[in-house]
Chains A and B, each alone.
Chain A
Amino acid sequence: MKVTLSQENDISVISIEGSIDGKTAPLVRQEMYPTLETAMRVVLDLSKVDYLSSAGLRLLLLVYREFAAKQGKLVLLGVSEDIQTVMSHTGFLNFFKLAGSMPEALQAVS
């Protein structure tokens, strides 16, 4: 699991690589936290995430809830079809805005 942070103008891009499960979710959260605390526009790049467990989905929903509370903008980029299906079956998908490409993602939070 690896978390990379970058910046596109006033938009924070958080890229995650690997699996997000019960073991890694607290670490991902820890690494994202400083960015999430201050940023108002975030692209969460999940195109290199191969597996999201139940705990992983919960991490995403918590982040979404925090953003909704402070009226920030959050978009998920490159969520694989498999993960989208799981998110759809469990009701998580309805909460998020999804983007297929970086320009689309940046547009969505601009």
Chain B
Amino acid sequence: MKSQTQMDFSRIDYYPTHQQHGYRFRRGRTLPFGATVVPNGVNFSIFSSAATSCTLVLFRKHEREPMVEIEFPREFRVGDVYSMIVFDLDYEDLEYGYRFGGPWEPRIGHRFDPSKIVCDPYARVIGGRDVWCAKPDWDDIYQHRARLAFDDFDWEDDRPLEITTNDLVIYELHVRGFTAHNSARVSAPGTFAGIIDKIPYLKSLGVNCVELMPIFEFDEWENSRQHPETGQLLLNYWGYSTLAFLAPKAGYAATGRLGMQVDEVKNLIKQLHQAGIEVILDVVLNHTAEGDHRGPTISFRGIDNKNYYMLTPEGYYYNFSGCGNTLNCNHPVVRNLVLDCLRYWAADYHVDGFRFDLASILGRDQNGAPLANPPLLESLALDPVLSKCKLIAEAWDAGGLYQVGSFPAYNRWAEWNGKYRDAVRKFLKGDMGLVGEIATRIQGSPDLYYYRGPAASINFITCHDGFTLYDLFSYNEKHNEANGEHNNDGANDNNSWNCGAEGETRDDSVNLLRLQLMKNAFCMLMLGRGVPMFLMGDEVGRTQHGNNNSYCQDNDLSWMDWTLVQRNSELLRFVTMMIHFRRANPVLRAGAFYQGRDYVGSGKPDISFHGTQLWAPDFSPGSRCLAFLLCGKHAQDQQGDIYVAMNMYWEGLPYQIPAPRAGECWRIVVNTSMRAPYDIFEVADAPSLGDRQEIIVGPRSMMVLVAQACNPSA
């Protein structure tokens, strides 16, 4: 408590007008929503369109009973907004919530319950799950407690990096899983701080962007259970179930027990920025943790159910998320909440961009119908604060909307390119009939993003959802028994191939083939226009033993095993050099599509396709071969022409290669059929082909040639 002598009385509204139970307060300011520190006190403001009363409930931190409950006097409500300034609070030791009076009439959408204390949708810190997996007090009347945040981090001269989108290489990671394994050897395993210790690793790998799986506060205990056979504790490990959109996950912070997660996240972002690495957040704005009509009342349901959720005419919850409810994103009030949330993360946390989980939901109207011109998506695309942020849509939802290539983009949104993933997976495992599509995907999918450019295509083969890259080439079928759902969960359509043995094997030929296919995958990913993204650990062949839906596995199955860095050093070396090759060759990652013609007078088109014979790409249904030539003179600072030959056939094939320019020779930079160190070279060290006009591309392998001035000593 502050003494009166410390108070600032320079304005009339710095002074309390009311007193109750020893607490002094006055009418507040309607905006901003949430709890805001103001001179001498804290301003609380919250909206409910249908409540009949609102009571502010204040707790001392961690105490079971409230220290005071103050009902908002009638004159404190303006419109549907209740606001109040409470004086003399020690806001470091404060937790707050609300009780709303109002009708319980589910059939018309109202589910008010004044016996429940509900959390502020604008809470910036939430207590109650301060330490990951610490057993909660289930009898606590207020499980997820809004707290105040010091938003005064000293950023010095940090700012979002604003790296051109087409120059990004994105690494998708789980904050806890990245360093929780005991092989990680970091000061604070499984936390934001732990990631800082691994920044040198990320830097040397060459990625310049990390995409963090959800870090909004969620309850890892939601739907927790023991596996019926193994007894293993299953948790909500992934966290796609938001409690509040402005609060970082306390349990991911080493300092969460002290309530300092806000500073810890900001420090992580500052350190990543110093290393030249951007931060994209995977944001879950399509549903909340309250589930359907059987779920708990935590926040939105008890504040304004009818406005926050999409409801059926009978008052039940539409379930376009597959998680029980659907946020009513295109209601103007909810739309503002989403905007406020993203602006907050962009401005206060210096976040560089967002990936929107099940983003198609954000384009549905209040009855769930897809909108032609969704106001929320347009607002996000044109928002002044978010204007430099990357906006990436997962352009589908669980309600059957699939908008890859047709997401309402306002020339601004990028998409997770699911079609790239599917086609490349099939091609890599040797399916026929894909050569034509692969030629399109390599160009950044102009069929889908002609008007937006290749940077709209986030190219990925793997992500958290589905097989890891190693498992993609080690399992024909998913093996999700450990999830305790009799292997019924997770996708069945994986386009995977086990290379001849299901799961881990001692068969050297199988293991070698898997290594080679993983190299092909990274080679393909790094050579294509668009933005490459891959999953944490794929660069070292991380396995989940065939589990393609590890959402509940907070253990070795999901965690990054750092011993793989040594054990799979050959793959790591290949991936690292492949990423650096991409970064050194602008022609691979230009921001415009290839045109298939020569528009700089170099004598060669910017891209040309070939087959085993020059100028004869084989797009027939039985083909598994494709080659292409990139003209280096079509990009600035490009070292030379690049020729790529892909042979997904099970036998080696001879490929005619284009004649290099006068005085130049081809160098073999990549040959995935070779073992390290002959699989990939720095251009300067790569062996020259001299005057050869043909190469043999091994079975299921790729070769990359770069034209350089012939060096007599080479």
A55 engages B92 (CB within 8 Å): yes
Residues of B within 8 Å of A61, CB to CB, are 154
> What are the residues of chain B within 8 A of A95 when measuring CB–CB?
154
Residues of chain A within 8 A of B154, CB atoms compared: 61, 91, 95
Are B92 and A21 interface neighbours, CB within 8 A? Answer: yes
Please state if B260 and A54 are interface contacts (CB–CB under 8 Å).
yes
Question: Does A100 count as interface, using CB distance less than 8 angstroms?
Answer: no
Assess whether B260 is in contact with A23, with CB atoms less than 8 Å apart: no
Q: For residue B150, which residues in chain A have a CB less than 8 angstroms away from its CB?
A: 54-55, 58
**Inside 8 A of B91's CB, which chain A residues have their CB?**
22
For A89, list chain B residues within 8 Å (CB). 188, 191-193, 253-255, 260, 264, 267
B263 at the interface (CB under 8 A from A): yes
Whether A22 pairs with B90 at a CB distance below 8 angstroms is yes
Query: B408 → chain A, closest Cβ, in Å?
Result: 39
In the complex, chain A residues whose CB is within 8 Å of the CB of B187: 85, 88
Nearest-neighbour CB distance to chain A for B381, whole angstroms, equals 32
- Is B258's beta carbon under 8 Å from chain A? yes
On chain B, the residues within 8 Å of A54 by CB distance are 92, 150, 258-260, 263
A103 to chain B minimum Cβ distance, whole angstroms, is: 29
B229 interface residue per 8 A CB criterion: no
Query: What is the size category of the interface that chain B forms with chain A?
Result: 20 to 34
Contact with A along B395-432 (1 / 0, CB 8 A): 00000000000000000000000000000000000000
Q: A86 touches which one: B6, B90, B92, B260 (CB < 8 A)?
A: B260
Given contacts A86-B258, A89-B193, contact A58 B264 (CB under 8 A): no
Contact (Cβ within 8 A) A90 B2: no
A90 CA to B260 CA, complexed, in Å: 7
- In the complex, the chain B residue whose C-beta lies closest to that of A22 is B92
Q: Are B258 and A53 in contact (CB-based, < 8 A)?
A: yes
A86 to B264, CA, bound (A): 9
Contacts of B259 in A (CB 8 A): 54
- CB-contact partner of A53 in B92, B152, B188, B254, under 8 A: B92
Chain A, residue nearest B194 (CB): A89
Q: Is the CB of B152 within 8 A of A58?
A: yes
**In the assembly, what is the distance between CA of A90 and CA of B267, in Å?**
6
Which of A55-110 touch B at CB < 8 Å?
A: 55, 57-58, 61, 85-86, 88-92, 95
Name which of B153, B191, B259 has the most chain A CB atoms within 10 A of its CB: B153
Count of A interface residues, CB-CB < 8 Å: 18
- The CA of A43 and the CA of B9, in the complex, are separated in Å by 35
Determine whether B93 belongs to the interface, using a CB cutoff of 8 Å to chain A: yes
Q: Taking the complex as formed, is B306 at the interface, i.e. its CB lies under 8 A from any CB of chain A? A: no
* B2 (CB) vs chain A CBs: closest residue: A26
Least distance between A86 CB and chain B CB atoms (Å): 6
Is there an interface contact between A91 and B270, defined as CB atoms closer than 8 Å? yes
**CB–CB B267/A23 < 8 A:** no
In the complex, what residues of A have CB within 8 A of residue B253's CB?
A: 89
B42 to chain A, nearest CB (A): 12
- Alpha-carbon distance between A22 and B92 when the two chains are bound, in angstroms: 6
- Contact, CB under 8 Å: A91 / B258: no
Interface centre among A54, A57, A91 (most CB of B within 10 A): A91
Contact partners of A86 in chain B: CB under 8 A: 255, 258, 260
Nearest A residue to B271, CB-CB: A91
Instruction: Give the distance in Å from the alpha carbon of A5 to the alpha carbon of B259 in the complex.
Output: 31
Q: Do the beta carbons of A91 and B93 come within 8 Å of each other?
A: no
Chain B residue nearest to A26 in the complex (CB): B6
User: Is A91's CB under 8 angstroms from B255's CB?
Assistant: no
B residues in contact with A90, CB < 8 Å = 255, 260, 263-264, 267
CB of B29 closer than 8 Å to a CB of A: no
Give the distance to chain B from A29, nearest Cβ to Cβ, in Å: 10
User: CA of A54 to CA of B261 in the docked complex: distance in angstroms?
Assistant: 10
Give CA–CA (A26, B7) in the complex, Å.
12
CA–CA, A28 to B133, complex, Å?
36
B582 at the interface (CB under 8 A from A): no
Cα of A51 to Cα of B212 in the assembled complex, Å:
31
Interface string of B61-91 (1 = CB under 8 A from A): 0000000000000000000000000000011
B window 255-299: CB within 8 A of A: 255, 258-260, 263-264, 266-267, 270-271
CA distance A26 to B192 in the complex (A): 30
Interface residue ranges of B192-209 to A (CB < 8 Å) = 192-193
Compute how far the CA of A85 lies from the CA of B188 in the bound complex, rounded to whole angstroms: 9
**What residues of chain A lie closer than 8 Å to B258, measured between beta carbons?**
53-54, 86
Q: How far is the CB of B345 from chain A (nearest CB, A)?
A: 18
Tell me, rounded to whole Å, the shortest Cβ–Cβ distance linking A87 to chain B. Answer: 10
Which residues of B sit under 8 angstroms from A22, Cβ to Cβ? 90-93
8 Å CB interface, A10-56 against B:
21-23, 26, 53-55
Chain A residue at minimal CB-CB distance from B90: A22
Q: Contacts A22-B93, A54-B258, A54-B259 given; indicate if A91 touches B153 (C-beta within 8 A).
A: yes
A11 to chain B, nearest CB (A): 26
| A91 in contact with B260 given A54-B92, A54-B150, A86-B255 (CB within 8 Å) | no
Beyond known contacts A26-B6, A89-B264, A91-B271: 10 more, CB 8 A cutoff: A54-B259, A54-B263, A55-B92, A58-B152, A89-B267, A90-B255, A91-B263, A91-B267, A92-B263, A95-B154
Report 16 cross-chain contacts, Cβ distance below 8 Å, ordered by A residue.
A21-B92, A22-B92, A23-B1, A26-B2, A53-B92, A54-B92, A57-B263, A85-B254, A86-B258, A86-B260, A88-B187, A89-B260, A90-B263, A91-B263, A91-B270, A92-B263
Top 4 A-B pairs, shortest CB-CB distance: A22-B92, A91-B267, A90-B263, A89-B193
Q: Which residues on A are within 8 Å of B, measured CB to CB?
A: 21-23, 26, 53-55, 57-58, 61, 85-86, 88-92, 95
B residues adjacent to A (C-beta < 8 A): 1-2, 6, 90-93, 150, 152-154, 187-188, 191-193, 253-255, 258-260, 263-264, 266-267, 270-271
